[in-house]
Homo-oligomer: A and B are copies of this chain.
Amino acid sequence: MIKVTIYNEFFHEQHHEEVKAVYPEGIHMALKNQLSDEFEVRTVTLETVDTITEELLNDTDVLIWWGHVQHDKVPDEVAERVQRAVLDGMGAIFLHSGHHSKPFRKLMGTSCNLTWREDGDYELVWNIKPAHPITQGIGRFIKLDHEETYGEPFTIPEPDEVIFIGSYEGGEVFRSGCTYRRENGKIFYFQPGHETFPTFYNKDVVQVIRNAIRWAAPIYRTRIECPWVKRPLAE
């Protein structure tokens, strides 16, 4: 059984009534409740962020990350631990405003900026790679009645694969689903998921996350060091 750890900042859900109304137990629990049929799911919040130890990460196949206004409160050591675990083979899925989280930015090496506005536009998340493991079961597009609008330029390295492109009522576009391999690990960025909307109850969104977990789960996990070696044919 694939082991999933979900990190959720869990701030808005405790401090803003409109968010609490959508995710009364927090985004992490909304996801856990839906994913536990197939995966072994643990959750961590900012309050318990120090429990993201090397031991936990070693025991995690895929880490899911949602954060927004408290990225800076995640200690650098935790962010570096996550980065290191991904490079060693752990899968990672960064959701929505996780584009600005410390571990994502460290893994990308860029600022991961974008343009944004909050007008409750509908979004169409277009499936541009229908043969990809992450899009199985998804039709031509996912319709979200309301989402925060994220727009280009999105300052990420050119993805290995752009899997989804979102368009919004107002006309913006965004590379909404992007994959990266970094050393032994696989990374998926997925744009939907603003805290004020019930995006994480959308069955297609959950299906994508489910697919992405299976896709990102490691087949090989080890640290590649920088060793002194002997001449190959002397071995």
| A contact set with B: CB distance below 8 Å | 83, 87, 89, 100, 106-111, 113-117, 119, 124, 126-131, 133, 136, 140-141, 143, 151-155, 157-158, 160-162, 165-167, 170-173, 175, 180-185, 218-222, 224-234
Contact = CB atoms under 8 A, between A and B. Distances in A.
10 contacts: A87-B111, A87-B155, A111-B224, A113-B226, A116-B228, A117-B229, A131-B221, A161-B181, A167-B172, A170-B231
Given A131-B222, A151-B229, 5 more contacts: A130-B153, A130-B224, A131-B218, A136-B219, A160-B160
* Chief secondary structure at chain A's binding surface: loop
B160 A171 contact: no
Contacts of A183: 110-111, 131, 155
A186 B218 CA distance: 20
Given A117-B229, A133-B219, A224-B113, A173 B165 contact: yes
